[in-house]
Amino acid sequence: MSQNRKEKILVAMSGGVDSAVSAMLLERDGHAVEGVYVRTWEHEDDLLGECPGAKDLRDAEEVCNQLKIPFRVVNYSNFYRREVVQPMVDGYADGITPNPDILCNKQMKFGILMNYAKEEGFDALATGHYCIQKLNESNRVELWEGRDKNKDQSYFLARLSIEQLKFARFPVGSFQKSKIRKLAQSANLPVAEKKDSQGICFLGKVKVPDFLSHYIKENPGDIVNQSGDKVGEHLGLHRYTLGQRKGIGVPSNTDNQNYVVTGKDESTNQLIVAFDQPHESTLWAKRFGLIEITFIDPRFNHLENIELLGKARYRDPSTPIRLTIQSRQSGMVEFDSPQRALTPGQILAFYEGEQLVGSAIYSLSKFGRAALST
């Protein structure tokens, strides 16, 4: 990666303001820029209802026309269903909570789309992610948090490899979001006032349980408290996540205390709930099992005991952690302070200061929540 050489760069255009300004900044810097929109669904309205895909495509094309850069569309709907949607569905069916946005970045944007960019002769693939690339003294690429801490998206890139990061570019990472809006407005970009997309990357306004109902057969069962007493009925364990407060279907008690999901018993098809009190140790723990441990920074590849910072989930602050690594397939993390409702299948991102250095996936293991106290 060169900071000075003019490159031929393909920009993944989402139809939003961040990717639009990314393309504009690269074009102004003298790079040969082209935009690409990735179709991920066919007949999406049949499944997703009011899906923003069609408008996003039109907006992306309009931005490229205004910037006078070439625009292309690629269709990876079959790949998307196989590599992003199906793993999400399978995960929920197996009782875990995967993160499809992180999987989308690894498999789609910096997977099949990056391979396409290379095959088409591009030097790099750019996106609108808020994070910063740096070259260290060894000329090795590093990934750091974005300057705007409210928008930092380095967490969502935690599963990328060093080779993927070498080919990536993140033009907006050094800016505040407010500045990006002003740049878009000053250039009269048609998406300057467009609201940021929310929620899972491919669901639009559809709620996860409603989406999963198309793929996973409902399997009703009992909702029980921690004493084993039945307090209600659920529609299927896949509809609920640990720590969930709303939408459980069990009313509060006479003291206006609300239930929260504290566990799932797959063997009995029971959803376990308790009143959301800090002393509920089944929701809070310091130690969690990990699988699929990876490091972007090779300094950590052969260490067994490591002290770093960890983001337990997106938007959580970085907090001190101690990693005990048995192998790249298993290990344990211990937090300085108890964490609430960390869920198997989700991602723990490792940081050294503001530098992202690796990640792992929370597992169901002997270090799991039920066997631990705070």
Average pLDDT, 10 consecutive residues per value, the chain (374 residues): 79 96 98 96 56 83 97 95 91 86 94 98 98 93 96 96 96 97 96 78 65 86 92 91 87 74 91 74 85 93 94 94 89 94 93 97 60 32
Judge whether 163 and 151 are in contact, CB under 8 Å. Answer: no
Q: Which two tokens stand for residue 28?
A: 């102004």
Q: Are strands 168-169 and 124-126 parallel, antiparallel or unpaired?
A: parallel
**DSSP H or E stretch at residue 320:** strand 319-327
Amino acid letter for position 196 = D
Q: Which two tokens stand for residue 286?
A: 């310091």
- Annotated catalytic residue: which of 51, 64, 104, 131? 104
**DSSP H or E stretch at residue 265:** strand 259-265
Q: Is 64 a catalytic residue?
A: no
Judge whether 290 and 333 are in contact, CB under 8 Å. Answer: yes
Which pTM does this prediction carry?
0.88
Ordered by where they begin, the domains of the chain are: 8-186 (3.40.50.620), 217-275 (2.30.30.280), 284-371 (2.40.30.10)
**Gyration radius of the chain over CA positions:** 22
3-class SS of residue 282: coil
Burial 312-346 (b: 16+ CB within 10 A, else e): bbbeeebeebbbebeeeebbbbbbeeebbbbbbbb
3-class SS of residue 340: strand
Residue 188 falls in which region: left (phi positive, over 0), alpha (psi -120 to 50) or beta: left
Judge whether 297 and 355 are in contact, CB under 8 Å. Answer: yes
Q: Which two tokens stand for residue 94?
A: 């197996």
Cα(61)–Cα(69) distance, integer angstroms:
10
Cα(322)–Cα(137) distance, integer angstroms:
27
Per-residue pLDDT at 328: 72
For tokens 């309205």, name the residue: 45
- Annotated catalytic residue: which of 51, 64, 131, 201? 201
Cα(336)–Cα(316) distance, integer angstroms:
14
Amino acid letter for position 221 = G
Cα(316)–Cα(312) distance, integer angstroms:
6
Q: Is 104 a catalytic residue?
A: yes
Cα(128)–Cα(15) distance, integer angstroms:
11
Per-residue pLDDT at 49: 52
Q: What is the DSSP string of 289-316?
A: EEEEEEESSGGGTT-SEEEEEEESSTTP
